[in-house]
Structure formats: C-alpha cells, structure tokens
A and B are shown apart, each in its own frame.
Chain A
C-alpha cells in the first residue's frame, strides 16, 4: 500500500469529477468567482455540495483546501500559530492562510459547527476588503484575485444555535442545493454505483418515499449519497432489500417501528 501525500497548495484536481448540474449553479458560481464574491452553499446532507466544489475547483484549475469545521476549532486553527522547532519559534500557516497565499479555493464545510467567535475571522476576508489579518504576526494577507472562500451549511437543523449569523451570511452569494430532480438523481445513482437503470429508478423512488416521512418521525429522508451506497452494495451482489436495509433504513433511524415502516416501503418496490 502506498499513501500519496500532497501539500494543500498542490492539491489540484486533475481528473474531471463527475458532477451532474441540476440548475444554473455552475454559471452562478463562475460569475461569483470572477467577481471575487464568496459563496455559501446551503442544502441537506449528501446532496452534492462537496462534489460540486470539487468540480468547480477542477473547472477553475485552482487548488482546493477543505476544512471540516468542528466545535473545538479556534481562529488560530484556521489562521496559523507559532510552533517551537529546535528551540526557535516558527510560524505555521493555518489552512485559510495557505489558501489565501496560493490563491486557491478554501472550502469551510459545515461552518455552523464552528463557534461563533471563530466564524468572525472570515469576515474581513469575505467582504470587499479581502484581507486576512494575522494578528500574531502583525501582518495582513491580501487575497489575490484567484482566491475564493466557500462555506457550506445545512439549514435543516432544528437548533437555534446552528443558525448562521446575519453578519456572516450577508457577505455571501448563496446557492441553494436540494436533492436532484428524479431523472438526474437516477443518472447520478447509475453513474456512481454502476447499477442498471431499473434498479437506479427503484432506489430513487424509494428515497422519495422516505423523504415524505421527514418531520413525521424521520429527521431526514434518504440522501443521494445513501442511494449511491445502496447501489454499490447491490452491485457487489447483495440483494436489494438487504442493501436498502443496511445502507438506508438502518442509517436513517433506530426506532423499531419506523424501521419496519421504512423496510415496508422498500418492500413495495423490490
């Protein structure tokens, strides 16, 4: 086994990622990028946001630096910090600073997971100043035109704490993502998992049935991602009902009654 190591600055996506556009998101993104406007992607989990960013990075030929945001992340983690190496203090750039320096795309995934005081460090970078203050260094990084900031968030969360602050969100151009239309979703499932069109259609219909249950006992319906997973299992020889149970039903819920209902729905199709 060999593991390939790439520095983020050199993380150019060389092969065209498979992305099936569902609207005018590609031209909107491109226009925003050309105008140096940061971009906010909203949408439920597993509907293709990350894949879209991969695709855009490839199209624009810029390196892509992705940061999965979490609760314990501090501004320092994004911007950079001093380290001690061999008795000397050395500055190390954080991912945000690295992206600015190399004029790449910086994708902050699930931005609401980060604490509010962390989120504000992106403010000067996300408005027309486009600067990243590096307080510890006493320097300002001016972003080159190629740099772009992309953040994602899922507005479906119930928690008030997971709302994006107005002062943050009002800096961005927002692209809304949702599960793709039926025909497109069928194509995606076919392409990503290799199943035949019949199976892909049945999987997509099944997903739609589970999405009807959102709010009536399910927090979310099955995402495109789960369909791809189920499709892959089916391609490896697993019977469709078992694949749907393992890759979809069990993933969506622990409630035994709900589980039976979701399985019954898959049984209407397979």
Chain B
C-alpha cells in the first residue's frame, strides 16, 4: 500500500496573475479579480488546474461569463464532482448559445440548484448540508477545535478533518448522516487520543520503508481507537458497527488485535505491534471509513502549531505572572518551578498553582494548555523556563500578523471572530472576520468647545427641550401597597366607612421612578469616504447628540469603525457604555478621523454583542454613515448589501432597533432594503446633519 500525496495548491500570486490575464476584459477599477482569486485559493491543486482551464475556455466565448464562472466554480466543487462540473458548464454553454448571456449567467451563478436538479443517487447527502452541525458535534466531543473541509481522501492533518463532499452509501439520508458522524468521530479520535505525536515521522523513518510502516501503524491505531470509541461512546460504537465493515484480521494478527482492544492500550502498544509485525507477509487492512495517513500534512500542521503554541504559552504565562501582585513582593518568583499544573481526572484540564497558591488562569490560557497537552501529553519543562531577565516574553517581534490572527482563536487581547453572510452560498462563513476593539487616541484640537460655541443657540434649545423628556419621579396615590400612607385617601376612606360604606384598601402612596430605560450605541463611519467637511459635520453631530443624550440621561456608547479586509476590522472605542462623558471622551470625539473601508456586517454584529450586555427596555443602534458598505477584498455590491441586511436582521431578532442616518443621496436606492421603509433618514445636505440629529433622535425614542 502506498500513500498518495497531493500536489500543494497553487500560490496566491500565481492565481492572481493568471486570472488577471484571463479575465482582463471583464475587470475594471471597480471590479478586481481578488474575489475569484481568494475563492480559488481554497481549492485543491487538481480542481484549481481544471477550473483555470475552463476559465480560459470561457474567456474566449464571453469575459463576463468567465468572470462569474471563476467566482462560483470553487464553491460548486462542494456540490459537484468533476463530471458534475463538466455537465454544469455544458448547460451554461447551451443556454448562452440559445438564450444569451443572462440565461447563461443564471446557471453559472447557482451551482447548488443545478446540483440538486441533477438528481443524484437517492439518499445522497452533501457535506455542505450538515457541516455546521457536524462541527458542533466535534466541539461537544471536546479537545482542540477542529475544522471540516472537503477532501478527495478521508484524512486529518490534526487541525482539519477532510471528508468526502457527499455520501451516498445508503439509500436513506439519515443513515448517510450518521455515517458522516462515524467517519468524523474516527478522525477526531486520532487527534484526541494521541495517534500523532511529534516524533512520529522521525521514528517511522527508522524503518526500511517508512511509508509502509506508517500505513501499518495507522491501521493498528485505528483498531485501538475503534475499541476505545466502543467503550466510551457505546451509541457511536453501535453505529460504526452497523454502518461500516471492517475486514477481519489475519489469524497471525489475532493476538495483536486483542492487545489493542484492551482499555490500557496506548499508541505505544500500536508501536510495539508495528515493530513486531512490519516484516510479516500478511497485514491487516484499514477499512475505507478510517481514511488514510497523510504523514507530511500531519507533520507540517503539527510543527507549525507546536511552535506557535510554545510562543503563545510563554507570552500568556509571562503576562499572567506580571499581573499577579505576589510577583512584586516575593523575589525569586521568576523561578519557573513555582508555577505548577496539576492535571484533573479528565487529563485535559488543570489546576494551576503559583507558589503553592491556587490560581485562576484566563480561559484562553486554559484552552492553550489543553491543546499543548493534547499534542505533547504534558507541558514540557522548557516551556516554563523564563526566557531571560525580562521574563517569559523574550520575543518582542509581535508584528507577525498571522500569529495575531491565530491568537484570535484563543481570544487573546480582545480579538473577536464574527460570521459573515455569503449570499452566493446562502450560508454564513464561520468566524470569517477578525475584529479588534481599539481606543481612539485623544486629540488636543479643541473641536468640541468650538462646536458648542458655534451651535450655542441650538445647544440651549436642545437642553431645554430634552429636559422635558427626561424621566422623573412620580408619586402614585391610592395604591394598595406603598411606602407611605396616603393621608388623603385614608381620610376619604374613613369617612366612607363611617357612613356605612365599604372601606377601600387603596390607602398608600409610593414614588415610582419613570425611567426612560433606553440604551443607545452610536456607530460612526470612519471609512475613507467621509473626508474633509463631511468628517467635520459628522464630528459636530456626535458632539450635539451626546449633549442631548447627557440631558436625557439615556445610557449610550460611541464607537467608530473602519478596517481593511476581513482580518483587520477595527472597532474604535470613543465612549463605552461604562464610561461617563468626560474631557477624555471629548478629546476622542475630536479625533474621529477618516480611515479605511466599511465592512458593515461585522461591525453591526459587534455592536449587537455590546448592546446585548446592556439591560434596557429599548436598545437602539444608530449608524451614522455615508451608507455604502464596501471593503477591499471583494466586499462590495450585492455581497456587501446582503451581509449588511443579514446583520441588521440579526439585530432585530435580538430586540435591538437599528436606525441609519446618512447623507448619501443615492442611499434611497438601497437603504429601504436594509433598514425597512421607515428606519433611516437621508439628509439632503451635510450641513443639516448637526442641526437635525438630536431632533431625529427625539423622534425615534418617543
């Protein structure tokens, strides 16, 4: 048995160059090929080459058709195999010839319906249909987070499980779904119970034929894991038994089989039997559903991960120790032996102790320790050695963006991952955007004072008119319960009683605070399109609106947003809900500056997250913008509008009311679709923004 190795995917810049050349006629300054390039980059090498060949063929027929095909073909591989792809392309060509470009585009833009109409075998189940559910099941099973992707072969590189794009082994959908679970659980068990350890490939290379030895080790390991799964997850074991077939082992391997099925068996057991039997003439076989060993992929993923984990571990421990007050008073605490981990019974969680005292580590560190132990079986002592007099964090080179994104997995330093709605796939891209909250640096420009002076009349008017809206205290009389006796009511009641009537029991009064109970988050567009006087008007509006909000005593927060591509979405903190209005806030408002692009969806999602932490009867999200959601990496047009719309729907589902105030005259065309007919205002000119904004707010909240 030999281990097939796939070629590595084509590099990004190669794809870009190639597509640019092929699609030149369909591109413009407003439309680059970065969308298709990124899509294509996710495919395997064989698919990439085939798709490029097809794009070339189409480009000769019609550039637009070729562009759209390049955009959608990578996704289509989820639902169609190569034969299916060829048929899909054929239908598109037919339509083009008979009905023209538009009909052809309809086919090209919707590979999923084509796949469905193609009526695959009965019971056939696409991975795409159940992938989210399957990911949750894996999370539930525990251990390091795993991704799922489509692969030509069933295998794992220890970070991603590669599964067939569809299963049709059984005529019943439900059985195929259970089969997917069995296959995924098998791969999960390999990552969870120690099949892959760092020295594995090195140890295999001592055999005359390392590949064959690897294959045998893999077979033995899977046998051990199958028994382990049967013991720990009887339901799963039953399913595996019913849905898959494992060929019986040769008679000479029976003793090995029994030994591997023992509860005490470990990867070392498999190793011993590998040494025992690698020269035998007969070997047991790995059944289809257990997949294949891709040693190079495993090595590659594992080496990278170990390096990052080690780096991150030292950093986080260093930080934790820095924060720990004991550090200052007790010299010698940089002695690593004082930080100890005591494994809990499950083997993957730990009690942390610092100098004998129990310590609660941040959750992100706990997860990291879990992941390291899953790979190495322990925290190696050298991980705990202080890297020098400066402590654990020797490596000051933190500009490595890849590392930063990776840290997002551990939620270090406020990185948030948000889904994005992909209207082409009609599905969310999970954890697609990486968002960070950053403070706005305060500016010394006296912008707020100047604004308050310039609009002094308006400010007076706002103070007066909003004062009246403010909720006050109200004395409720004639209540059946209350803090004080309502003497008037009592006298009245006594008179009534004396004259033979029934005495009322509504004799109390109480003070009730009538709270407005509104919480508002103001989201200010800081994208590059809001330059110069537009920026001034926006800043002035923020000043005037905060004046009104201060008078009203509504709870409010102000944030700006900007970003560049999905990996760098920046949420700029001007005033969080928990901060009072202050000179610092004023100085930050003064520094609201145009920055980069508007990737709207992710910012709305984060605003939702923040608003959800505030308890209020009414929660408002006010978006001050020029309205056009647009980002650099293909986030524009239909895609960006649909994602924004979806994010706004999510807000409403959570009882948050979004409202948009904009100065973009073209906004009339798309805002109703995003905000509904009445939840936005388009101002005819920028100068009106500061004048109107408080009034608009009053209307929305009364």
Contact = CB atoms under 8 A, between A and B. Distances in A.
B233 A261 contact: no
A263 B437 CA distance: 36
Given A81-B483, A159-B613, A269-B233, 18 more contacts: A74-B483, A76-B483, A87-B497, A87-B503, A160-B613, A160-B615, A161-B614, A181-B345, A205-B232, A210-B140, A212-B142, A217-B136, A257-B133, A265-B137, A265-B140, A266-B235, A267-B236, A269-B235
Contacts of A131: none
B590 to A, nearest CB: 27
Contacts of A162: 615
Contacts of B90: none
Contacts of A159: 612-615
B505 A84 contact: yes
Q: Which 4 A-B pairs have the closest CB atoms?
A: A261-B136, A161-B615, A268-B236, A268-B233
Interface string B169-188: 00000000010010001000
Interface residues of A, number: 36
Interface of A: 74, 76, 81-82, 84, 87, 89, 136, 158-162, 181-182, 202, 205, 208-210, 212-213, 216-217, 257-258, 260-262, 264-270
B234 interface: yes
A261 B133 contact: yes
A115 to B, nearest CB: 10
Nearest to A81: B481
B671 interface: no
Contacts of A74: 483
B612 to A, nearest CB: 6
Contacts, number: 87
22 contacts: A84-B505, A87-B494, A158-B612, A159-B612, A159-B614, A160-B578, A181-B345, A182-B346, A205-B232, A209-B140, A213-B139, A213-B140, A216-B136, A260-B133, A261-B133, A264-B181, A265-B141, A268-B141, A268-B235, A268-B236, A269-B234, A270-B234
A260 B613 CA distance: 28
A234 to B, nearest CB: 15
B485 A89 contact: yes
Interface string B483-511: 11100000000100100000101011000
A216 B139 contact: yes
A162 B239 CA distance: 45
Contacts of B613: 158-160
A160 B577 contact: yes
A262 B140 CA distance: 8
A212 B345 contact: no
B106 interface: no
Residue among B139, B185, B494, B507 having the largest count of chain A Cβ atoms under 10 Å: B139
B256 to A, nearest CB: 27
A269 B483 CA distance: 57
Contacts of B505: 84
Nearest to A270: B235
A2 to B, nearest CB: 30
B133 A268 contact: no
Nearest to A216: B139
B698 interface: no
Nearest to B411: A215
A82 B486 CA distance: 11
Nearest to A162: B615
